[in-house]
Amino acid sequence: MMFASGALLCAVSCKPGKKEDKATVPMQFTCYPARDSISIDGEINKTEWADADSILVYDDSLRIPNRIVVRSLWDKKFLYFSFDVKDSNLLSIQTALDHPLLAKDDIVEFLIDTKNDKDSCWDENDIIYHINLAGQKKDDRGTAACRSDAKWNGIANISVKHFGTVNDTSDIDKGYAVEVAVPWTEIELQPKDALVMGVNFGGQSDGVFFDWVDAWPFRQPFAFGNLKLKNTK
């Protein structure tokens, strides 16, 4: 079962933030423990994600009406994300790993500054995933020279489910859902109460990119929000 997308859900729990907020203090996102293991099947099951906090990611300039509800949970093995995406025109072409044009498909993406350095260097502590409708990814990790290592391949478990027809412009689609489980071994941290990491979330549709914190350039950890783990809600 997929959670409802958009304004109805977010009237209760989502935290869109404001541009003036983003310019002064880091955006905040709380990550609570999962009750049980999350089934990474693209369903965003209501029971599994019941304890998750959520944020709303959208295009501030309103060039497109897309909305992404992002949720996060954690357990001893994984950091989980789900993306509940409202998108009326599903488009996706690339099926190859790390294809240079994958980011032109409809995608969601997440970035993690694992040490929360809040600096301008894209270093070994920083990772990014772009995920398209085919469930394919384009990912990289930073280097000591502050460059992207495109040869790095993450091992997160990913699943995507569509609510519409991909690459058919004759109809109106509802959107899609993405679930991700990132192993803590990849993040290279031990999960614990009060752990804070830098994060950003984004999406692309119809040639328009948008993200949570309005970061530019995009791989700039100093602009990221904070994801804080908590043991109890």
Please report whether residue 52 resides in a domain: yes
Which pLDDT tens digit goes with each residue over 143-197?
999 999 999 999 999 999 999 999 999 999 999 999 999 999 999 999 999 999 9
Which pLDDT tens digit goes with each residue over 61-86?
889 999 999 999 999 999 999 999 99
- Give the per-residue SS3 of 31-78: EEECCCCCCCCCCCCCCCCCCCEEEEEECCCCCCCCEEEEEEEECCCE
pTM over cut 0.75: yes
Which tokens belong to 86? 């409202």
Which of 19, 12, 10 has its CA nearest to residue 86?
10
Domain span at residue 127 reads 7-229
Task: Specify whether the CB–CB gap between 42 and 48 falls below 8 A.
Answer: no
Sequence-distant (≥ 6) Cβ neighbours of residue 212 within 8 angstroms: 17, 27, 55, 57, 70, 199, 200, 201, 202, 225
Size of the chain in residues: 233
Please report whether residue 1 resides in a domain: no
Which pLDDT tens digit goes with each residue over 22-52?
446 899 999 999 998 899 999 999 999 999 9
**Structural domain count, the chain:** 1
Please report whether residue 218 resides in a domain: yes
Please report whether residue 169 resides in a domain: yes
CATH classification at residue 60 = 2.60.40.1190
Residue 20 has pLDDT above 50, yes or no: no
Q: What is the reported pLDDT for 28?
A: 97
- Tracing tokens 């999962």 back to the chain, one arrives at 34
Please report whether residue 2 resides in a domain: no
Give the residue with greater pLDDT, 12 vs 174.
174
Residue 101 has pLDDT above 60, yes or no: yes
